[in-house]
A and B are shown apart, each in its own frame.
Chain A
């Protein structure tokens, strides 16, 4: 468990690799500096983490409890802290050190020596989808007299025993619009001036969506 950063998916493009001269598909993540809003320590909370905030928002658009978080953080750090839209907590292995004090900034330079990252976001909503798209069912043969049954899921249970459909039976349902994490994406480059992080490959969600980036846990 380590510190990550919140950002916005900006979109994808291709850049050329100077060595192989091949086009590399990259996703651009824009991450303005996140601000540490709160610390959790073993002593006071029983676990270690920091809460970070990201994304400018007008103070008028926050409710009182949310605003209170920022006011408290401002008092704790002694600096003015402008309100942000998104809050996330990142679990840490050890209690947060002093450079992660309340009011401190987390920037993309976090990934300077990181080769691989995990990116989590909310996938694009696909609406109600059938079993073929949603669960990779195979459907039925197109020929041999099949009619009106090409993309169905088939039988959903047996007869008197057990007499009901088993729980968890895969059926048509809403698809997408859920939290998805893509692991082990290679970091292409970082741009500390413009607060950009470029990763190779695709990440979940639509352009403009909120994403969490953290160093890969499995590398």
Chain B
């Protein structure tokens, strides 16, 4: 990537302090939502099944099961629409992309918790 574009992306990321989460962690994403003139916060809690590092264009995919239906949202992690991402717990996983969770339901779709894990901090 050109140096100029790296610079522009670095400027976009400068004041956002996003912790380095990873796949397998459960997070609570607080999303700012505009309804007319009012603004409120919506919380989306689920497991990160994919974390993509791409500078300012980095995204994460969060999956949850809502009323028996699997719901996935892809969040651009540096988006100003995201107020905060809260860490809930880390599951013990052995791969970076957890797409296999889509095919599992119920008890099999659980992840064993990594009790020693602590919330990652923004670097």
Contact = CB atoms under 8 A, between A and B. Distances in A.
Contacts of A12: 5
Given A13-B9, A13-B57, A14-B56, A23 B79 contact: yes
Nearest to B7: A194
A10 B12 contact: no
Contacts of A21: 32, 79-81
Contacts of B81: 21-22
A196 to B, nearest CB: 7
Nearest to A15: B12
Contact of B2 (A15, A22, A207): A207
Contacts of A207: 2
A28 B56 CA distance: 15
Given A21-B80, A23-B76, A16 B12 contact: yes
A14 B13 CA distance: 12
B56 A11 contact: no
Interface of B: 1-2, 4-5, 8-9, 12, 32, 55-57, 76, 78-81
Interface of A: 10-16, 18, 21-23, 28, 30, 194, 196, 207
Given A15-B8, A28-B8, A10 B56 contact: no
Nearest to A26: B8
Nearest to A194: B4
B108 to A, nearest CB: 35
A104 to B, nearest CB: 25
Nearest to A16: B80
Nearest to B32: A21
A174 B57 CA distance: 35
A16 B78 contact: yes
Contact of A11 (B5, B57, B78): B5
Contacts of A196: 4, 8
B38 to A, nearest CB: 15
A30 B4 contact: yes
Contact of B79 (A10, A13, A16): A16
Given A15-B12, A28-B8, A10 B2 contact: yes
Given A13-B9, A13-B56, A28-B8, A18 B1 contact: no
Contacts of A11: 1-2, 5
Given A11-B2, A22-B81, A196-B8, 16 more contacts: A13-B5, A13-B55, A14-B56, A15-B8, A15-B12, A15-B56, A16-B12, A16-B56, A16-B78, A16-B80, A18-B80, A21-B32, A21-B79, A21-B80, A21-B81, A28-B2
